[in-house]
Amino acid sequence: MSFKDLLGIDDIPTEDIEEIFSLADEMLEVIKTGSGEANNKIMATLFFEPSTRTRLSFEAAMHRLGGDVISFADAKISSVAKGESIADTARVVGEYADIIIVRHPWEGAAKIAADHTDIPVINAGDGGHEHPTQTLCDLYTLKKEKGKIEGLSVALCGDLKYGRTVHSLAYGLAKFGLNIICIPGEGLEMPSHVLEKMEGDYNYSPTRIKPRDAKSLMEEADVVYITPSKSHQLSLFTDKDADIPIERDATQIMSKIDALYVTRVQKERFAKSEEGGGAKARYPVVNKNFLKNASFKETLVMHPLPRIDEISYDIDEDPRSMYFRQAARGVPIRMAISALLLGTRTLKGSSPKKTDNYEIYKNSRGVKCSNEKCVSTNETQGYLIPEFHLISHQPLVLRCVYCGHIIRPQYVGNSKSGKYFHFASSRVKWIGAKNLTLFNSREEADQAGFHP
């Protein structure tokens, strides 16, 4: 195995994803015949947020493999309600189970669990960060229905700011080099840190369409992937950052689109300053009339569920509607991943995990992650020190290892010399990660005893 835990889609080498799909196909037979391969193995499902499909499909997957499941019925009646840290919860549960599934509203919570237990941990959704097993279900559905993944063009449309499913999917599509077209809802553009990761880690920049062109694009597509318009998951891209140019208008690229992945407004993840607002853009309800367009003859209608009102019940029996089949495929996919991490199955030609080769900056003093939903800003027990990948020295750019958000500190201290510099100074590139101390202002640096 090239990975012990599954925290983000990047944990799985691209070549291994195809093998996982083959293993999922085998698991379809196991569902019919039963299996005792996970006999005497226990899965712990730690869900600190509501869930139906993800939780039940993981638990069904473990039972299909012949194992058992333990969980708490409600996080509010667990020791977490008494102030127990994620780290201590993981340490204790790691003594009871053989694999842990974590869903949590804080971004990076699954990584904390993985860092503090020796058993495998799977991220079942951490805030608006990632949801890797949902991405495997999405890609698996495209493969089963279209016969391939490579060469497809996928448009990701709607609320792109908070959605963990769409952030993971963007990375997954970029890994395969698909053509991605991004159409955000007004005010719900794809976060810059997601675009920067795609560009920096995959050398990939998506085509981006202006929000006002979304409707015209939806009128001419081959695959539709919808997520709810009220509370649950979310989605994808932006024309906000001028450094990545918008390519043409929607009508000029419609002929290239194989899939349209549309997402809901995820109001439950809005910051307090956004409450009472909402997306200005609205997209058509997918119904029989919508699908009459000749452009949708081969369109798959996909949805991670739950739906609210963005897909009409009148197309449930339409052969192009994939959402219930997609949910069902979560079981064989999660059976495959669970079996691999438990060691009851292996990949035939497992590839080495992609390494990022970034230096790590870790310092209890100075700059913290700016993301208010990051686990590093919410765990208050004192054991967690903010940690960052050092993406660039000139100018200085860091990425939080927990939530992926980018920070650009204004002042940089050298703990060896006791001096500090403006972030754009040419001297910054000569300061090693172990000697870095970061500050948001001159006052912070002065108070820490550094000198300009």
Residue-by-residue pLDDT tens, the chain, 452 positions: 668 999 999 999 999 999 999 999 999 999 998 889 999 999 999 999 888 899 999 999 999 999 999 998 666 666 666 688 999 999 999 999 999 999 999 999 999 999 999 999 999 999 999 999 999 999 999 999 999 998 887 877 777 888 898 999 999 999 998 888 777 777 778 899 999 999 888 888 777 766 666 555 555 555 555 544 443 333 333 333 333 333 444 444 444 667 777 777 777 777 665 654 444 445 557 788 877 877 677 877 878 887 777 778 998 999 888 889 989 999 999 999 999 999 999 988 766 666 667 888 887 766 889 899 999 999 988 889 889 998 887 788 899 999 999 988 888 888 889 999 888 888 888 888 788 888 888 988 898 899 98
How far is residue 36 from each of residues 40, 143, 334, measured CA to CA in Å? 9, 28, 16
> Taking Cα atoms as reference points, which of 373, 75, 124, 100 lies closest to residue 233?
124
Task: Evaluate whether 132-326 and 359-447 have a shared fold.
Answer: no
Mean pLDDT, all residues of the chain: 82
- The SS3 assignment for 436 reads strand
Instruction: Report the C-alpha gap between 400 and 361 in whole angstroms.
Output: 9
User: Which one-letter DSSP state was computed for residue 81?
Assistant: G
How far is residue 306 from each of residues 38, 106, 267, 288, 362, measured CA to CA in Å? 30, 21, 14, 20, 39
> Taking Cα atoms as reference points, which of 77, 48, 49, 47 lies closest to residue 59?
47
Structure-token match 């279900």, residue found: 137
Q: Which residue ranges make up each domain of the chain?
A: 9-128+330-342, 132-326, 359-447
Cα of 435 vs its chain's centroid, Å: 32
Range list of β-strands (E), 279-435: 300-302, 359-362, 387-393, 396-400, 406-407, 411-414, 419-422
> Taking Cα atoms as reference points, which of 150, 287, 173 lies closest to residue 226?
287
Range list of β-strands (E), 253-341: 259-263, 300-302
Tell me the two tokens of residue 111.
């990584």
CB-based contact 379:414 (threshold 8 Å): no
Which CATH code for domain 359-447?
2.30.30.20
CATH 1.10.760.10 fits 132-326, yes or no: no
- Per residue in 166-217, pLDDT (tens digit) is 999 999 999 998 888 777 777 778 899 999 999 888 888 777 766 666 555 5
What pTM does this model have? 0.86
CATH 3.40.640.10 fits 9-128+330-342, yes or no: no
> Taking Cα atoms as reference points, which of 263, 123, 125 lies closest to residue 190?
263
Instruction: Report the C-alpha gap between 404 and 214 in whole angstroms.
Output: 27
- Per residue in 82-108, pLDDT (tens digit) is 688 999 999 999 999 999 999 999 999
CB-based contact 188:159 (threshold 8 Å): yes
